[in-house]
Amino acid sequence: MLNVGVLGSGGKVGRAMVDAVEAADDLSLSAAVDAGDMLTGLLDSNTQVVIDFTHPDVVMDNLKFLIDNGIHAVIGTTGFTDDRLDTVREWLAEKPEVGVLIAPNFAIGAVLTMRFAAQAARFFDSVEIIELHHPSKADAPSGTATRTAELIAEAREEAGRGKMPDATSAEFDRARGARVDGVRVHSVRVAGLVAHQEVLLGTQGETLTIRHDSLDRSSFVPGVLLGVRGISSRPGLTVGIEPFMDL
């Protein structure tokens, strides 16, 4: 039986993770921690793996505590810049036995969307991303869209594709969206939405749209549990759920 804690247990995703851990025969919910709760409860309950779906402003403090105390971590919270990832690697250098998995999206379809977009990107003159979320989301663009844009940019550079066509010369503030590694990303926040992303690719005479929809937050559960069950055998930092999916 694996003792699993949930940070952000009262949140939209955290609640789904609490339910999933409680329903799993091989997992035991050893701690449910939300804002204002002490992290030391994780030590008293002999928690072995922690799932974190909290907030970009607090996740680094949570991770430092987990690594310092030898607790494996499956991190869904977004906001991980390259600098933050380097900091996590430095912390892990002191604790080489600890496994940390950080993934911008645990939904299987979202992971495949990122791969399909990177595969397709080299064949198209233009690629832009539209990500659509609920209005309580703190960060924009989403971590998924940021990662998707990075993968697209890498694929285009590898294929030697030049700048995307864009005649914009007069633009209202941010009208053309954010630029992530040269890829335009547009963020929509509308009540009633959960988590959605479209990648639009275009070239002579045709466009290709790759779309993923998380219709509810249970979509993130299978990927998170894959990470929870496998993290102890993957010490160090893993970014993205792909290695756990043999992708």
Ligand X SMILES: NC(=O)C1=CN([C@@H]2O[C@H](COP(=O)(O)OP(=O)(O)OC[C@H]3O[C@@H](n4cnc5c(N)ncnc54)[C@H](OP(=O)(O)O)[C@@H]3O)[C@@H](O)[C@H]2O)C=CC1
Please enumerate, as own/partner, the contacts of 54-62 that have beta carbons within 8 Å and a separation of 24 or more: 54/7, 54/8, 54/11, 54/14, 55/8, 55/138, 56/138, 56/139, 57/138, 60/84, 60/87, 62/7
CB of 72 to ligand X, least distance (A): 16
Q: What are the structure tokens assigned to 97, written together?
A: 């036995």
- Chain position whose Cβ is nearest to ligand X: 11
105 makes contact with ligand LZUJQKHR (CB under 6 A): yes
137 assigned to active site: yes
Is residue 64 a known part of a binding site? no
Any known ligand binding at 13? yes
Sequence length of the chain is 247
Smallest CA-to-CA distance from 27 within 51, 53, 52 is with 51
Shortest CB 197 distance to ligand LZUJQKHR, Å: 7
Which residues share a beta bridge with 210? Answer: 199
User: What is the tally of helices (H) and strands (E) in the chain?
Assistant: 7, 11
Binding mask 122-141 for ligand LZUJQKHR (x = CB under 6 A): -----------x---x----
Instruction: Determine if residue 53 is labeled as part of a ligand binding site.
Output: no
Q: Does residue 133 have an active-site annotation? A: yes
Q: Taking the complex as a whole, how short is the minimal distance between the CB of residue 37 and ligand X, in angstroms?
A: 6
Locate tokens 């494996």: which residue? 72
Lookup result for tokens 């792909």:
242
Q: 130 to 189, contacts with ligand X by CB under 6 A?
A: 143
Under the binding rule (CB under 6 A), the answer on residue 195 touching ligand LZUJQKHR is yes
State the catalytic residue, choosing from 64, 72, 133, 186.
Answer: 133
Strand boundaries in the chain, DSSP class E? 2-7, 27-33, 49-52, 72-75, 99-102, 126-133, 178-180, 183-189, 195-203, 206-214, 236-239
Please identify which of the residues 55, 64, 95, 137 carries the catalytic annotation: 137
Tokens encoding 129: 């991303």
Asked if residue 99 belongs to a known ligand binding site, the reply is: no
Rounded Cα gap, residues 129 and 148, in angstroms? 8
Q: Does 33 bind ligand X (CB under 6 A)?
A: yes
Residues 52-91 that bind ligand LZUJQKHR (CB under 6 A): 78
Question: What residue numbers does the annotated binding site for NAD(+) cover?
Answer: 8-13, 34, 76-78, 103-106
Q: Which residues are catalytic?
A: 133, 137
Q: Which residues are at the interface with ligand X (CB under 6 A)?
A: 7-8, 10-14, 33-35, 53-56, 58, 76-78, 103-106, 143, 220
Q: Which residues are at the interface with ligand LZUJQKHR (CB under 6 A)?
A: 78, 104-105, 133, 137, 142-144, 195
